[in-house]
Structure 1
Amino acid sequence: MTSTITAPLVPTAPRALPGIGHALQLLCNPLPFTTSLNELGPVVRVLVPGPDVYLVTAPDLLHRILVTETRDYAKGRITEGIGSQFGPSVVMDMSFEGLTHFESHRRHRRAVQPGFNPHRIAAQTQAAHLAVQEQLARWRPGQTLRIDKELARLAYQINARAFCGNGPTTQSVADALAGLVAQTTPGLLWRVSLPQWAHLSHVPGTGAFNRALTRLRTAIHATIDIRRRDTQDSPDVLSHLLQATYADTGERLDDHQIVSETLFYLFAAVHGIGDAMPYAFHQLALNPQVEQRVHEEIDAVLDGRPVQAEDLPRLDYTRRVLQEVLRLHPPVWVFARRTLVPVQLGSAHLPAGAEIVISPYGLHRNPQVHQDPLRFDPDRWLPERAKSLAPCTYLALGAGPRKCIGDNLAMTNMLTLLATIASRWRLRTVPTRRVRPITRIFLSPGPLPMICEPRSVA
């Protein structure tokens, strides 16, 4: 542990252990630990093996880091550990000759962003609905399902279609994606924690992780080959990437770049449906008045027919439910930035190279930021109430120029899934079973059995 701070005014998190600092608390009890640091101040020093890190808890400072002064920051250790395995993509710090970090990111993002055009996203609603319908055909009244597994399977199917289209290789992509996600913890977690060791091959989990990566890359390459032989336009993201160019030179993305982009999009997108949506149905079961309002809205808007893209803007309350789910249970519970120049954040003077940690989970549960933060209250997102919130008080999908590029696609897919399932089924909790969140790279609910009850809609 080494200190990189030049001012003694920043509090240090309590109960550090000799030699390892707070590493044990971060490993064994990360959610209560990071949330408890809200009380210590806007910037808190956390001791870990290697350079110390600084947790930023104040929305005004987060707004500077993520929005107004974003040029002074690069992605941090977490992204480096993941990106070194998947290859360069918009989530990484791209590098183009003669351009800064920020300029390189902006150049690349402008090339790939049209793949997430609202019209393309809307055109995928039917494919997402059909994937859900196929899964629901196997549900039976009174059946106890591991809803976390059911929604993970849906996440693989929906995102394979969203990013690679619905064709001969779709199932191969979905199966390969499932295999990669299964290797996330044994093969990727330690790479995120210790990116300087990420190139080593003789580490437990490495072989299976690399094989899973290769399998998904192969499936994406096969999709590219088929797509190039088919001139028909498709709304999936890969179709755009094959045509994407850099505005300043007209240069196209090469296949290596396209595969890296698609690979990371698939991996990241899975966790919206796979990790957040189980919490959505759990919260509906715990809050029957909320569930009733969701059902009433869905019944009124859909009137018994399948959900369509034009229905989604009318599902106002249902969308607020999803916002509240993501506030309390953000899959990306922590991320990082690294200073490129000396910066001052409040009383903290940090040199270039300082590692900054941001916890959406802790921020969203901070009573100084959100009133009654542990209460599940979708109406806190009503426009007249939400307007009182300062910028960067809600970071479920990031903020600023590096905000999640697929945020609208993720919300569209989650809203389509929730409307499709809730129009036909309600899910009940299993007595005596508690949700025990699993905190690794992403926040997931862990095993979550629920009981299927068919709805009788008048």
Structure 2
Amino acid sequence: MPVLPSSPPLQLAPNFPSRYPLQLLRRYRRERLTMIEEARAMGDVVRLRLTRGRTLTLVFAPEDVEHVLVTHASNYDKKTPGYERLRDLLGQGLLTSEGDLWRRQRRIVQPLFKRRQVADFGPTMTDTARALAADWELAADSGQPLDVAQAMNHLALEVVGKALFSADLRGESDDLGRALHTALQWFMSLLTIPIPGYVHWPTPLNRRGRRAVRWLDQTVHGLIEARREGEQPDPPDLLARLMQATDEAGQPMPDKLLRDEALTMLLAGHETTANALGWTFLLLAQHPDVAAQLEQEVDAALGGRAAEVADLERLPYTWQVLQEGMRLYPPAWVIARRSLGEDQLGGFRIPPRSNVILCQYAIQRHPALWPDPTRFDPSRFAPGWEQSQHRYAYFPFGGGQRLCLGETFARQEAVITLATLVQRYRLELVPGQQIVLEPSVTLRPRDGIRVLVRRRG
């Protein structure tokens, strides 16, 4: 009986070119986005060897993203270096937990983010946007520039502080923002320092990072303790709802997990929305034709008042503008997973325990998926756009079972804020500044976005 020839074994994906891996690591620390786009030009799957023991498998095809997040999600977990470090900050919140704990927590938390529940926080979002619009009168009068990225961070912290804790964080937003920023800088630095045990060294960076995490811990624990000893807010905020919720056995969430979920919501609930708004304001300042079309919709829908939840259906172009902003500058710019068993992506072998990186930033700017990919064009997201695009050509909120629970909250807050501010003001970029992208946990402008505030009309 003849022996049939067997199929040749699958090969590993091609390596990003470099003679010395440490050179790649140094460059990756400085030029992550440039390197990722260079890798995308090499093919759909590329290996990036940063150190002898650390190789990233970069993925650029929507079909492979779906494979990892949906169809073969059971073969991938979050035990990557990035998530291991993030657990040092966030503990076992929904963003970082796994397995049975994640499923238990998601069953408790998911109902809090249904559309009807999120609508309860609409008045908070409207009031906060209205207050910021009033504050900008001073900038419009004085002609002094302001940092719109910082302004959006403060606004988003105020919103999440009120929604989560019923707390007015206006006086603390600078301290809170600095502590979060310091903790995240520490987190990103640790990812690119390939020295075992470096996290425990008494360096200035490690000391600052630990101080920031301790401060955040004390702040969140203090808010939880104050809630246990005081009256419950009416209507209940997210913390009250978390404390009232029980699992299938009727057990409430332990204090440690309450802290982890609260800190996760504090980070995810302000960092992503703030950056989405900041980048969108940058794009509108660079594209006055889009800004003019947006102003027409806002004027017709609102007639001079601040936006509310009931206005969302009358502001479809406003959401398109934000979607296009998140396509070009996705707040979550990559998603990391680790393969459990051997797999294949793009026709290449993926060994067990591979660090697989799904590159939103590069996929959402891929010329094969998006014509004229760097052009700011909100019409790409006109009704029905999903029918002409792969589901994972655009995934700023992730996908699969781990789809971001806060998507409805973020959309509601972003549309209300953008419409309320655009109705009263146009922003002009301060000439001569260089906008530098900083790919940290989220994609942020490293030095801010300085603008001049002009009253419309």
Question: Displacement of 1:59 after TM fit?
Answer: 0.5
The 2-side partners of 1:444 and 1:366 are apart by: 20
Contact kept in structure 1, 2:232 and 2:240, CA below 8 Å: no
Q: Secondary structure at the match of 2:200?
A: coil
Question: Displacement of 1:7 after TM fit?
Answer: 4.0
Q: Which of 84, 101, 105 is 2:88 aligned to?
A: 84
Structure 2 counterpart of 1:410, which letter? A
Question: Displacement of 1:393 after TM fit?
Answer: 0.9
Q: Which of 92, 106, 122 is 2:103 aligned to?
A: 106
Q: Secondary structure at the match of 1:183?
A: helix
Contact kept in structure 2, 1:82 and 1:191, CA below 8 Å: no
- Work out whether 1:312 is the aligned partner of 2:312: yes
In structure 2, the residue matched to 1:188 is: 187
Within 5 Å, give how 1:45-444 maps onto structure 2: 45-49=47-51, 50-75=53-78, 76-94=80-98, 101=99, 103-139=100-136, 140-141=139-140, 142-166=143-167, 170=169, 174=173, 176-193=175-192, 197=197, 199-200=199-200, 202-228=202-228, 229-247=230-248, 249-444=249-444
Contact kept in structure 2, 1:120 and 1:236, CA below 8 Å: no
**CA RMSD across the alignment:** 2.1
Question: Displacement of 1:119 after TM fit?
Answer: 1.8
Deviations 1:112-150 (A, max 9, x none): 112212122111121122223333333232331122222
Segments of 5+ residues of structure 2 without an aligned counterpart are: 1-8
Contact kept in structure 2, 1:21 and 1:47, CA below 8 Å: no
Question: Displacement of 1:376 after TM fit?
Answer: 0.7
The 2-side partners of 1:25 and 1:234 are apart by: 50
Q: Which of 42, 45, 56 is 2:44 aligned to?
A: 42
Question: Displacement of 1:194 after TM fit?
Answer: 5.5
Contact kept in structure 1, 2:132 and 2:155, CA below 8 Å: yes
Question: Displacement of 1:263 after TM fit?
Answer: 0.7
Question: Displacement of 1:295 after TM fit?
Answer: 0.8
Change (3 A) 1:52 1:341: same
Change (3 A) 1:198 1:88: farther
Change (3 A) 1:321 1:235: farther
Deviations 1:152-173 (A, max 9, x none): 2212212211222246xx4576
Q: Secondary structure at the match of 1:383?
A: coil
Contact kept in structure 2, 1:79 and 1:192, CA below 8 Å: no
Between 253-262 and 180-189, report the one with greater CA deviation: 180-189
The 2-side partners of 1:182 and 1:10 are apart by: 35
Contact kept in structure 2, 1:9 and 1:348, CA below 8 Å: yes
Question: Displacement of 1:65 after TM fit?
Answer: 0.4
Structure 1 counterpart of 2:151, which letter? E
Q: Secondary structure at the match of 2:384?
A: helix
Structure 2 counterpart of 1:181, which letter? L
Deviations 1:434-455 (A, max 9, x none): 3222233321123311111012
Deviations 1:397-426 (A, max 9, x none): 111111112111112111111111111111
The 1-side partners of 2:152 and 2:288 are apart by: 21
The 1-side partners of 2:198 and 2:318 are apart by: 41
Q: Secondary structure at the match of 2:209?
A: helix
The 1-side partners of 2:294 and 2:178 are apart by: 34
Contact kept in structure 1, 2:320 and 2:379, CA below 8 Å: yes
The 1-side partners of 2:48 and 2:199 are apart by: 27
The 1-side partners of 2:364 and 2:433 are apart by: 25
Contact kept in structure 1, 2:76 and 2:338, CA below 8 Å: yes
The 1-side partners of 2:73 and 2:50 are apart by: 25
Contact kept in structure 1, 2:330 and 2:361, CA below 8 Å: yes
Contact kept in structure 1, 2:183 and 2:213, CA below 8 Å: no
Question: Displacement of 1:27 after TM fit?
Answer: 1.3
Change (3 A) 1:191 1:394: same
Structure 1 counterpart of 2:120, which letter? A
Change (3 A) 1:110 1:192: farther
The 1-side partners of 2:310 and 2:238 are apart by: 20
Contact kept in structure 1, 2:133 and 2:424, CA below 8 Å: no
Contact kept in structure 1, 2:60 and 2:363, CA below 8 Å: yes
Q: Which of 9, 26, 29 is 2:28 aligned to?
A: 26
The 2-side partners of 1:105 and 1:187 are apart by: 25
Structure 1 counterpart of 2:42, which letter? L
The 1-side partners of 2:448 and 2:413 are apart by: 22
Contact kept in structure 2, 1:59 and 1:390, CA below 8 Å: yes
Between 128-137 and 61-70, report the one with greater CA deviation: 128-137
Contact kept in structure 1, 2:185 and 2:440, CA below 8 Å: no
Segments of 5+ residues of structure 1 without an aligned counterpart are: 1-5, 95-100
Contact kept in structure 1, 2:327 and 2:396, CA below 8 Å: yes
Q: Secondary structure at the match of 1:10?
A: coil
Contact kept in structure 2, 1:186 and 1:204, CA below 8 Å: no
Deviations 1:308-327 (A, max 9, x none): 11111221000010000001
Q: Secondary structure at the match of 1:40?
A: coil
The 2-side partners of 1:377 and 1:171 are apart by: 35
Question: Displacement of 1:432 after TM fit?
Answer: 2.5
Contact kept in structure 1, 2:21 and 2:49, CA below 8 Å: no
Identical-pair percentage? 29
The 1-side partners of 2:16 and 2:203 are apart by: 32
